[in-house]
Structure 1
Amino acid sequence: MKRIAVAAPLLASLALATPIHAQSLPAQPFEPFTISDIRVDGLQRISAGTVFTYMPLERGDHVDQAAAARAIRALFRTGFFNDIRLERQADILVVTVQERPAINKITLVGNKDIKTEELNKNLKEIGLAEGETFDRLQLERVVQELTRAYNNRGKYNVAVQPSVTPLDRNRVDVQIDIKEGKAARIRHINIVGNETFEQDELRKGWESNTTNWKSWYKRDDQYSREKLSGDLEKLNSYYLDRGYVDFDVESTQVSISPDRRDMYLSANVHEGETYTISEVIVTGDTIIPHEEMERLVLVRPDTIFSRRLLEITSDAMTALLGNIGYAFANVTPVPEVDRENRKVKINFYVEPGKRVQVRQVRFVGNTRTGDEVMRRELRQFEGSWYSQSAIDRSKIRLNRLGFFSEVEIETPAVPGTDDQVDVVFKVTETTSGSFMVGLGYSQLAGLITSLSVSQNNFLGTGNRIGVAIQNNAYSKRYDVNYFDPYYTREGVSVGYNLTYYELDQSNFNIATYYADRGSARAIFGLPLSETDSVGLSFGIDYNTIRPVEGYTAQPIVDYIDALGQRTFHAWRTELSWARDSRNAYWNPTRGTYQRAAAELTLPGSTVEYYKFNYQFARYWPVHRALVLLTSAEIGYGDSYGDRVERVIYNEDGTVAREVVADGLPFFENFYAGGVRSIRGFEDNTLGPWATAELSNWRQPLGGALKTTGSFEAIFPTLFDTDKTRLSAFIDFGNVYRSANDFEFREFRGSAGVSLQWQAPVGPIVLNFSYPFMSDRDDRTERLQFSFGSQF
């Protein structure tokens, strides 16, 4: 056992000092002796115990030249010391060391292309980190690695200059100055040996390209070794997907101009001949019937060989087995190549492995949300067979809750078994509620002040509750709402809404009048499947209309006069169906959303009418960086009660006018135009309009028929967060007085770009639009925006 011994007093007159240095052993003979004690001199930060731990000598050992050399080498291997000497004083072994300095601080200057956090992480892996022992060889290695990293990014003019500043207490500061320079530009790309396909065709989808008008954004003309390797793999795949089994990239040449600013790339290829499929078989332990597996095969005899179809088939078979518990199944397409006849026989060899059960489902990172709230969204259960599709579906359902900014899945094997795994959902929670006293602004409503308490995940239960007071230029609004998405274990949801409005529509983009509205509603929902649900609601409301004499549009005045009252009561019910297969709550990239709702006021209401509304949205993933969205909305309403006609008389008894109340009530009309509906036109201004006696401005009335649609190209990867998206859109549609008035030539259309951000203060929308189908009397807006919390 090595022990720290107390050094004896230095007796210079008796000591026989025979130093043994790190670099070389002394020329004179080293007289062996037995160590009675060991003393370590020169230590500052490192403890003597550390030296004894690494040194292969201890008290009582016999030491000679060879043993001393081994001890020095062992201590040098620790990397803690610049110099080591062994001396003998009587029978005491004296170890004299000079420690390497410690790194006090590392400073990176000039790096822009590679983030400081990433560089510090890489430096730490090499061993250069604050608090660690400084080694100049490691610093030289860092310079080489940084230069190589920048070269791989096409920056060949990079200069990396380290400097070391000594400090007291044997410490140093390390500063690394980086002059990145400019990336070398690709001036020419040449593929040599291609006879069947043109170069432009072969290079479609390449990340490397010569300078073009999009290079300022895509930076595709900046050379990178990784990008070129990926492009050559795409080239290989292109030929293999078209039957060229013998295709080969024989060589590549990358040359650089003397000033290290221009790159020239060349690839020499051998195309070979096309091969066809001679036979396709499925072998191995398929578990499920061969016929079912063979139905998944996409390649057929006498068709052109395609590696992509082989991979798709293999993945489909693996997924099928994974969905019935074979989590580690492997399907390998084994080709037998007949080069003489240019034929390929394909054998899909199936290795299912053991069937796997899920032992536990665990959640990590849910600091607020209860496990039961997450568990009820799962489709993979404990104790059941592993199913990849059930796990994927569970992830989608968790994402769609809106409680988490990120959901990751791990399936670690259970130690000691080969047929069990655990499923671990790692989540990062996001803000799901707020207490807010805020300001907002929209071009339509002006300044918006609001006081709101809202929580979409109340006390971690998944229930939604909210109380809000909002005030702006045209309305005061008070809301109280509650919603329990799992009122029963089967998923029946229950919600309640109480709302009160005071509207001053003289400041709004619809017909001028004052109104007080109040409503109470109970809402019930029932899931039918993973994507489908139905809803039912019952409610009561009242609506008091106060026209402004001389300023309210005549059709509204006539409707009120025909009924002879200004307060409308309604018992209403709504039946709805929804299908939602979108893959995310915010900014989905695939899936469909549909909702159809029919609303009816019951007999006994002041006005008996119905409304139907259908919404559709489909997300088409075209590429990782591009999603197409097609959407449409149709709304229609009408009265089903008796037509009301009334004659209004003058004071002298003569007929002043005849008025009629028929069709959908004006206060239930549909509107279009604005930040979220046919962008480029002012809010609610499309469709029928009228003027009043004392005002000649066009007052939008809305209509009983609404038809709108949109095509949108979304770029989901432009930002690092899924809370923000940029898109280019084309909107079209209009609002009509009734179905009989519908005409395609009355459609309005606009095109533009939209930026949307789910900010902590509420949704922020910024649109720039160009109305390309409009009427000269339409009220258009090129720039539209809205921000702040709105309810």
Structure 2
Amino acid sequence: MPLQAAESFVVKDIRVEGLQRVEPGTVFSYLPIQVGETFTQAKGAESIKALYSTGFFRDVQIQAQGNVLIVIVEERPTISRIEFTGMKEFDQEVVRKSLRAVGVAEARFYDKALIDKAEQELKRQYVSKGLYAAEVVATVTPVERNQVAIFFNIDEGPVAKIQEINFIGNKVFSESTLLGEMQLKTGGWLSWYSKDNLYSKQKLTADLETIRSYYLNRGYLEFVIDSTQVSITPDKKGIFLTISISEGKKFTVKNMRLAGELLGKEAELKQVLALKAGDTFSSAKLAETTKAIAEILGSYGYAFASINPQPDIRRDLAEVDITLVVDPGRRVYVRQVNITGNAKTRDVVVRREMRQFESSWFDSDKIRLSKERIGRLGYFTETDISTADVPGSPDQVDVNVAVKEKPTGAINIGAGFSSTEKLILSAGINQENAFGTGTAIGLNFSLGKINQNLTLSQFDPYFTDDGISRYTDLYYRSSKPLYYVGDPDYQIKTVGSNIKFGVPYTEVDRVFFGTGIEIFSIYATTNTPIPYQQYVQDFGTSVPGRLQTYNVPITAAWARDGRDSALIPSKGSLQQLSAEVGTPVGDLTFYRLFGQYQKYHSFSKGNILSFNGEVGYGEAYGSKPFPIMKNYFVGGIGSVRGYAPGSLGPNYFNTITGTFQPTGGQSKIVTNVEYTFPVPGSGVDKTLRLFTFVDGGNAFGENINLVLRYSYGLGLSWISPLGPLKFSYGLPVNAQPTDNIQRLQFQVGTAF
């Protein structure tokens, strides 16, 4: 009996027909009428509405047979699969996840409205990437068992390129100055690499924020971006940007005050005020000041301090008074430190880097230092330290350390090429975090035309609980020194082992002590450089032309590394001193001293000025001369560019080859000044940089004559997918006829 003809009756049973995937219990849970209740026309309409609203059905009917209520449904088809064709700009799995969030996913019910919405959202995403010509068409294909397949057919089209960028309203700063602050450009000769002429909504948003910061940092407190107009050409390949701004007046800080609860530390807080009375207003300096005050209060246990700047603007005088209202909040101490995410790394490996201890006052400086130390371990891609209130204890917090581990083991097979060694092959098995203990072990070898090395090493950063490290290695080295032309048998072989301990005495300083044993074998003929022949003749064995000797050195060193990066440093300094002494226990009695100082200073837009200075000095004691195999060599990349590697310093004339051949020296001096800047058009890309340099240095024999060789030039460095690549072109300044000039030098290749 149809619903329209049904009279009111008491429902004795409910029967559902037409279900395929939906469970009957699901239908009953949505029905507003149950067995034993009285059915009415209103109840019937309400039931149909309730079942439609679930989204499971495309048709619902309700009938009655006697006192039995019959619910007849036709289910919506389910989505069997979702496919994308022509999608290159986005990762398909990422898109699938985003569609799932809005209800479009495999095994879910098909809803045309949701598919249309997904289609429009994909178009919007392409527009945000500058692909205005992108076309997205969703095709729905029925398949067996009441299912459908969804195909998103995409024609991405070309990315719209920026044709012109215009500013309206700028009077203080020129258009070229403002354009120089932006990532987006109208294109240049390097745009194929930097892609800075391809429009992106995200990049434009970032550029507008950069322009705003540029004005606010120069006193224009009331600067406003009035509007941004993005116009596209009819063919959807060109973009025109018009940015309208109001600069306002340039404001000077008249008064800078502290207010609120200062905890008796007003004098200390005033010392960190980066913005003072008489200065031009700067939002960056204001942010720096509030951050510094919060860090000071945090170091005294006030983890939740807030600093609220309150400006008082006097437009007629172009002056502003700034009052920093300080609210330190409550002082808290740490109840416990929780570490999560370290599935492999043992808890103690992370915990021993913590400088914030449990049951002590919260200290923001120690929190920051702890995060830096954990990050320097190299075992984690992410490190996050946060605080959480302890319920019921307003003066306590928990410190939560969340890490995300990365693979720390590697089997590497590598190849490289340099202007000196030619082809270099290398291989290695390394584990930086063996068994999650923080201990590093490795087996590595390299094979080149000049040098061959095989090394087995182990490093334990916490050999003792108080942080003393231990490094041990066992190695074999074979070297055919440079310029051995005419003497293929000339070779130096070394077999040795070292053990070294590092003792930290501050957070950035460490001293090292070690010893070892080295066994040298020198093979020489009548064509070998005369100094080597003489050394072998004076101290060699009964085997003609061969010297076998051994050394038992003692080493000591100190290092302080304050650079922000070991690969691409931009600020900070590196200082180190080391000494090596050959003891009378072995055949060699000598000492070598080495010192190095590096300093980096970063300017805006990725410009870096760096200085490197190295001094090495060696001397013999006892009856034997300084061992020639311990000589320093100077020249080439990493030393004095423009001269062939290792070619500077003492040399002799080889009558067979007709060339001057270097023998190295007991001492050396090297100085380098380098100015690094981004490649024009690449923004502040640190992986591709140009540099200019001035180098000076030399190696010296027993009698030091402080005459240095100098050079200058330019170069290109690139952190390529295959490893660091460096080209330099050096011009010697005061080269002598005995020097070996090599203007173009390069080096490329690491393990891949």
Q: Tell me the TM-score normalised to structure 2 length.
A: 0.87
Question: SS where residue 144 of structure 1 aligns?
Answer: helix
What is the aligned partner in structure 2 of residue 526 from structure 1? 503
What are the Cα deviations for residues 612-670 of structure 1, in whole angstroms up to 9, with x where unaligned? 222334455556x847373525242232436x7xxxxxxxxxxxxxxxx75x4321111
Question: SS where residue 326 of structure 1 aligns?
Answer: coil
**Matched ranges for 1:534-573 at <5 A:** 534-548=511-525, 550-562=526-538, 566-573=547-554
Q: Which moved more, 1:671-680 or 1:51-60?
A: 671-680
Structure 2 unaligned spans of 5+: 542-546
Question: SS where residue 704 of structure 2 aligns?
Answer: helix
Percent of matched pairs sharing the same residue: 33
**Matched ranges for 1:299-338 at <5 A:** 299-338=275-314
Checking the alignment, whether the CA contact within 8 Å between 1:621 and 1:627 is kept in structure 2 is yes
Q: Which moved more, 1:750-759 or 1:330-339?
A: 750-759
Question: SS where residue 612 of structure 1 aligns?
Answer: strand
What is the aligned partner in structure 2 of residue 393 from structure 1? 369
Q: 1:431 to 1:627 in 2, by over 3 A?
A: farther
**What is the CA RMSD across the aligned residues, in angstroms?**
3.6
Checking the alignment, whether the CA contact within 8 Å between 2:595 and 2:616 is kept in structure 1 is no
Equivalent-residue separation in structure 1 for 2:522 and 2:203 (angstroms): 66
Deviation, 1:331, is 0.7
What is the aligned partner in structure 2 of residue 638 from structure 1? 618
**Matched ranges for 1:240-259 at <5 A:** 240-259=216-235
What is the aligned partner in structure 1 of residue 560 from structure 2? 579
Equivalent-residue separation in structure 1 for 2:83 and 2:287 (angstroms): 48
Question: SS where residue 138 of structure 2 aligns?
Answer: strand
What is the aligned partner in structure 2 of residue 743 from structure 1? 707
Checking the alignment, whether the CA contact within 8 Å between 1:509 and 1:699 is kept in structure 2 is no
Letter in 2 for 1:17: P
Equivalent-residue separation in structure 2 for 1:435 and 1:180 (angstroms): 39
Deviation, 1:530, is 0.4
Equivalent-residue separation in structure 1 for 2:416 and 2:130 (angstroms): 46
Equivalent-residue separation in structure 1 for 2:497 and 2:484 (angstroms): 25
Deviation, 1:592, is 3.0
What is the aligned partner in structure 2 of residue 7 from structure 1? none
Checking the alignment, whether the CA contact within 8 Å between 1:554 and 1:691 is kept in structure 2 is no
Deviation, 1:416, is 5.5
Equivalent-residue separation in structure 2 for 1:736 and 1:747 (angstroms): 13
Question: SS where residue 740 of structure 1 aligns?
Answer: coil
1:690 is the counterpart of 2:656: no
Checking the alignment, whether the CA contact within 8 Å between 1:493 and 1:526 is kept in structure 2 is yes
Checking the alignment, whether the CA contact within 8 Å between 1:496 and 1:523 is kept in structure 2 is yes
What are the Cα deviations for residues 668-711 of structure 1, in whole angstroms up to 9, with x where unaligned? 11124566655776653444433445444553312221415363
Match of 1:770 among 724, 729, 733: 729
Checking the alignment, whether the CA contact within 8 Å between 1:327 and 1:356 is kept in structure 2 is yes
Deviation, 1:598, is 1.9
1:384 is the counterpart of 2:390: no
Equivalent-residue separation in structure 1 for 2:77 and 2:254 (angstroms): 70
Deviation, 1:283, is 1.6
Q: 1:299 to 1:402 in 2, by over 3 A?
A: closer
Q: Which moved more, 1:684-693 or 1:306-315?
A: 684-693
Deviation, 1:260, is 3.3
1:514 is the counterpart of 2:478: no
What is the aligned partner in structure 2 of residue 221 from structure 1? 197
What are the Cα deviations for residues 378-415 of structure 1, in whole angstroms up to 9, with x where unaligned? 21222333333322222222222233343333444445
**Matched ranges for 1:37-436 at <5 A:** 37-415=13-391, 418-433=394-409
Equivalent-residue separation in structure 2 for 1:475 and 1:264 (angstroms): 57
1:17 is the counterpart of 2:2: yes
Deviation, 1:730, is 4.8
Q: 1:457 to 1:340 in 2, by over 3 A?
A: closer
Equivalent-residue separation in structure 2 for 1:675 and 1:91 (angstroms): 96
Q: Tell me the TM-score normalised to structure 1 length.
A: 0.83
Equivalent-residue separation in structure 1 for 2:595 and 2:270 (angstroms): 41
Deviation, 1:146, is 1.8
What is the aligned partner in structure 2 of residue 667 from structure 1? 629
Q: 1:304 to 1:510 in 2, by over 3 A?
A: farther
1:711 is the counterpart of 2:674: yes
Deviation, 1:524, is 2.1
Equivalent-residue separation in structure 2 for 1:302 and 1:452 (angstroms): 60
Checking the alignment, whether the CA contact within 8 Å between 2:634 and 2:699 is kept in structure 1 is no
Question: SS where residue 399 of structure 2 aligns?
Answer: strand
Letter in 2 for 1:743: V
Structure 1 unaligned spans of 5+: 1-15, 19-27, 645-660
Question: SS where residue 50 of structure 2 aligns?
Answer: helix
Equivalent-residue separation in structure 2 for 1:36 and 1:552 (angstroms): 112
Checking the alignment, whether the CA contact within 8 Å between 2:485 and 2:657 is kept in structure 1 is no
Deviation, 1:428, is 3.5
Question: SS where residue 741 of structure 1 aligns?
Answer: coil
Checking the alignment, whether the CA contact within 8 Å between 2:688 and 2:719 is kept in structure 1 is yes
Question: SS where residue 486 of structure 1 aligns?
Answer: coil
Equivalent-residue separation in structure 1 for 2:212 and 2:414 (angstroms): 57
Letter in 2 for 1:773: P
Deviation, 1:582, is 3.6
Checking the alignment, whether the CA contact within 8 Å between 2:274 and 2:286 is kept in structure 1 is yes
Q: Which moved more, 1:269-278 or 1:42-51?
A: 269-278
Question: SS where residue 223 of structure 1 aligns?
Answer: coil
Q: 1:109 to 1:193 in 2, by over 3 A?
A: same
Letter in 2 for 1:574: T
Q: Which moved more, 1:525-534 or 1:76-85?
A: 76-85
Letter in 2 for 1:528: Y
What is the aligned partner in structure 1 of residue 544 from structure 2? none
Q: 1:526 to 1:178 in 2, by over 3 A?
A: same
Equivalent-residue separation in structure 2 for 1:300 and 1:47 (angstroms): 72
Checking the alignment, whether the CA contact within 8 Å between 1:734 and 1:748 is kept in structure 2 is no
Q: Which moved more, 1:306-315 or 1:453-462?
A: 453-462
Letter in 1 for 2:705: D
Deviation, 1:602, is 3.5
Deviation, 1:575, is 1.8
Equivalent-residue separation in structure 2 for 1:378 and 1:79 (angstroms): 53
Equivalent-residue separation in structure 1 for 2:252 and 2:569 (angstroms): 40
Q: 1:51 to 1:356 in 2, by over 3 A?
A: farther
Q: 1:783 to 1:191 in 2, by over 3 A?
A: closer
What are the Cα deviations for residues 241-300 of structure 1, in whole angstroms up to 9, with x where unaligned? 333344333344443333333333334433333333333221222335222222222333
Checking the alignment, whether the CA contact within 8 Å between 2:338 and 2:398 is kept in structure 1 is yes
Deviation, 1:347, is 1.5
Equivalent-residue separation in structure 2 for 1:303 and 1:621 (angstroms): 23
**Number of matched residues?**
735
Checking the alignment, whether the CA contact within 8 Å between 2:11 and 2:38 is kept in structure 1 is yes
Checking the alignment, whether the CA contact within 8 Å between 1:675 and 1:785 is kept in structure 2 is no
Q: 1:730 to 1:267 in 2, by over 3 A?
A: closer
Deviation, 1:714, is 8.2
Question: SS where residue 208 of structure 2 aligns?
Answer: helix
Equivalent-residue separation in structure 2 for 1:75 and 1:276 (angstroms): 67
Checking the alignment, whether the CA contact within 8 Å between 1:680 and 1:783 is kept in structure 2 is no
What are the Cα deviations for residues 468-519 of structure 1, in whole angstroms up to 9, with x where unaligned? 6766656665544443322222222234344444555599689973344343
Deviation, 1:175, is 0.9
